[in-house]
A and B are shown apart, each in its own frame.
Chain A
Amino acid sequence: MLGYATRKLLISVVVLFFATLVAFLLVATVDPIAEQRVFLLSQPGGAEQIDRLEASLGLDKPLIERYGSWLGDLATGDMGISTDNGRPVTTLLGEAIPVTLRLVIAATVISVIVGVAVGVVSAIRQYGAFDNISTFFAFLFFAMPVFWLGAVLKDLGIRFNDWWGRRIFFTIGEQSPRLDADFWGTWADRAGHIILPALTLIAIQLAATSRFQRSAMLDVLESDYIRTARAKGVPQRRVITHHALRNALLPVVSFTGLTFGTLIGGTVVTEVVFNWKGMGRLFLESLLNGDVAVAQGWLLAVGISVIIVNLLTDLTYGFLDPRVRDG
């Protein structure tokens, strides 16, 4: 297991290096002074001004050198300044990442736990009432557009608040603006804000997870080693928990790792619908404003997150399946 973990870690470092290279090149190939260039060239003495501008931005140096100094800045925690609002990119990311992580982790943990349970029960009682009902809802939610589901949930939340006479569900933002509360008060406020967007993500993720778990479980229950376990006199409950589930978790682990990685950068729709200032919003705004430094920083942050999540997925997989460890 230790050798396997070391191997995976080394691979991650290599991938990380390539991620920085890609993030750098994607932005370095864009000319940051394209507009000025056109304007200055029509002016007398414009060529010299362009040279000065290029020198001040370091554009006159070879690409490899620029990459080196960019990496150096990165190592010291300097990812540049937003051209839109003049704030450091690291600060913007530092604000957005926890917001998105809170949402994505809450949604993933709940949808995995519930999805695995629903999938297992569906598989054990295949074509039973529970299986049919959960299959129906899984397909229903899987087919639902996120923005629409989010909007419906917002509407339901508001109606519920009116009926209850108190504000339980918050539909805007990740927490109340100018919130002044103690530790528990802050978390209570955040909980009220997170329920609806988390439900939006859960509904769709849960649908997929439960279907994955169901089919994996059905496959495993048909396998020869389950028959062997039963032939040994292992009680049915233990056959499910000790023999079938551990094998049937493998595909779900891969699937969850993949979706978690994409969710960190990809909850754009949910964040916009609920007006959360997370990673999705940050990326969308940086694109709309042509804010190159922010886009680059975002790209890198998401890349690193995906690498970390993949590493954790691999380690979990290796822990569950001895064949992978030795492979």
Chain B
Amino acid sequence: MTDQAGTGGDVPVLSVRDLEVVFPTPDDDVQAVRGVSWDIYEGEVLAIAGESGSGKSVSVMAAMGLLPATARVSGSISYRGRDVLAMTDKELEQLRGSAISMVFQDPMTSLNPVMTVGAQIAEGVRIHQRTKTAIARSKSVELLHLVGIPNAPQRVDSYPHELSGGMRQRAMIAMAIANDPDLLIADEPTTALDVTIQAQVLDVLERAREAAGSALVVITHDLGVVARTAHRLLVMYAGRAAETGMAEEVFERPGHPYTAGLLGAIPRLDAPKGTRLMPIDGSPPSMLAPPPGCAFAPRCPRATEICSQETPTLRPIGNQQAACHHAEDQYNSKANNTNNKTKEDRDDQR
């Protein structure tokens, strides 16, 4: 993955190497992230996908310096060559909201209930650009307009509880792009929203990204979201990378049984009538004591003896990389070929 060329430049905006995050608990340590590496380049959209507890959120929180003080972080995270993990609180404050900013999952709880949305957007502008209150306010109106909130000059004085979930998430996006960040991180940006609103918010996110000229990391458990937006895809399982590659190629021919499982679990309109969704049986392992070998082995239809003994590492398969002992079998399997056939239909859907 280190040599992987991005779509927008040679120096990554953010580079994560061998990241490990451990949360000490009274019982035992929770190993939330167990050695993950990824890069994001200018203008690129990277999707990080996986189930709850796969470590996807934790790895970006680490990049923002937002983990609780008790978390033990090792490996390296560098923003344009600067070591984020070594930054002082002051340096982190300057980085956050200005160079890297974030849209959170639940817009109902992520906005301060006692401040107007305008004040919350303007606050970030004032802190990082040192502008006057009046200028910051007109910038807030501009931003609200950009994310498609009607009557922005009035809405700027609304409190969060006066807005719908979709509107709040738009306000969150406006807040995140207020200082034209290099990198925008969206942590499950549509999970808490009504299905009917999800597509709108994804469009707004894309528009906002273009307006701000940022790279975007989308964290999601919904591969449908990935299909719409991402250039590259990183699939995480149990704190490790399972598979990574160009989103379209991974979609067509997953090299990891877990990715294939996730794809099989997406409801599709173009599936033949009577086709049943294929759930992945079982649940992710406890991160208190992850099993030896491949963490997915207990749930994997392709698992053999080696899987529970040796931990697979990412290795090339086609243009992508997968951490699976049976990547070739998966990559060349018949199921993937049937996936191929419907590729055009999927493109139509997009």
Residues of A within 8 A of B (CB): 223-225, 227-236, 242-243, 246-247, 320-323, 326
With a cutoff of 8 Å between Cβ atoms, the chain B residues found around residue A225 in the complex are: 109-113
With a cutoff of 8 Å between Cβ atoms, the chain A residues found around residue B172 in the complex are: 228
Question: Size band of the B side of the interface?
Answer: 20 to 34
Q: Evaluate whether A224 and B110 lie within 8 angstroms (CB atoms) in the complex, with A232-B124, A236-B89, A326-B161 already known.
A: yes
Q: Evaluate whether A231 and B102 lie within 8 angstroms (CB atoms) in the complex, with A225-B109, A247-B114 already known.
A: yes
With a cutoff of 8 Å between Cβ atoms, the chain B residues found around residue A223 in the complex are: 109
Q: How far is the CA of A232 from the CA of B175 in the complex (A)?
A: 8
With a cutoff of 8 Å between Cβ atoms, the chain A residues found around residue B162 in the complex are: 326
- B113, A227: Cβ atoms under 8 Å? no
- A224, B104: Cβ atoms under 8 Å? yes
B113: contacting residue among A234, A242, A323, CB under 8 A: A323
Q: Evaluate whether A229 and B112 lie within 8 angstroms (CB atoms) in the complex, with A224-B104, A224-B106, A235-B93 already known.
A: yes
With a cutoff of 8 Å between Cβ atoms, the chain B residues found around residue A235 in the complex are: 93, 127
- B113, A230: Cβ atoms under 8 Å? no
Bitwise, B84-123 to A at CB < 8 A (1) or not (0) is 0000010001111110011010100111111100001001
With a cutoff of 8 Å between Cβ atoms, the chain A residues found around residue B97 in the complex are: 231-234
- B159 at the A/B interface (Cβ < 8 Å)? yes
| Among A224, A228, A246, residue most surrounded by chain B Cβ atoms (within 10 Å) | A228
- B306 at the A/B interface (Cβ < 8 Å)? no
- B98, A233: Cβ atoms under 8 Å? yes
With a cutoff of 8 Å between Cβ atoms, the chain B residues found around residue A322 in the complex are: 113-114, 159, 161
Bitwise, B160-198 to A at CB < 8 A (1) or not (0) is 011000000000100100000000000000000000000
Q: How far is the CA of A56 from the CA of B102 in the complex (A)?
A: 80
- A231, B66: Cβ atoms under 8 Å? yes
- A232, B96: Cβ atoms under 8 Å? yes
- B93, A234: Cβ atoms under 8 Å? yes
> Measured between C-beta atoms, what is the minimum distance from B79 to chain A in Å?
13
7 residue pairs of the A-B complex, CB under 8 angstroms, read: A224-B106, A228-B172, A230-B66, A234-B123, A242-B123, A321-B114, A322-B113
- B128 at the A/B interface (Cβ < 8 Å)? yes
Q: How far is the CA of A227 from the CA of B109 in the complex (A)?
A: 10
Q: How far is the CA of A326 from the CA of B159 in the complex (A)?
A: 11
Q: How far is the CA of A242 from the CA of B110 in the complex (A)?
A: 15
- B104, A233: Cβ atoms under 8 Å? no
- B64 at the A/B interface (Cβ < 8 Å)? yes
- B113, A232: Cβ atoms under 8 Å? no
Q: How far is the CA of A228 from the CA of B120 in the complex (A)?
A: 10
With a cutoff of 8 Å between Cβ atoms, the chain B residues found around residue A247 in the complex are: 112-114
Bitwise, B316-334 to A at CB < 8 A (1) or not (0) is 0000000000000000000
Q: How far is the CA of A19 from the CA of B104 in the complex (A)?
A: 50
With a cutoff of 8 Å between Cβ atoms, the chain B residues found around residue A323 in the complex are: 113, 159, 161
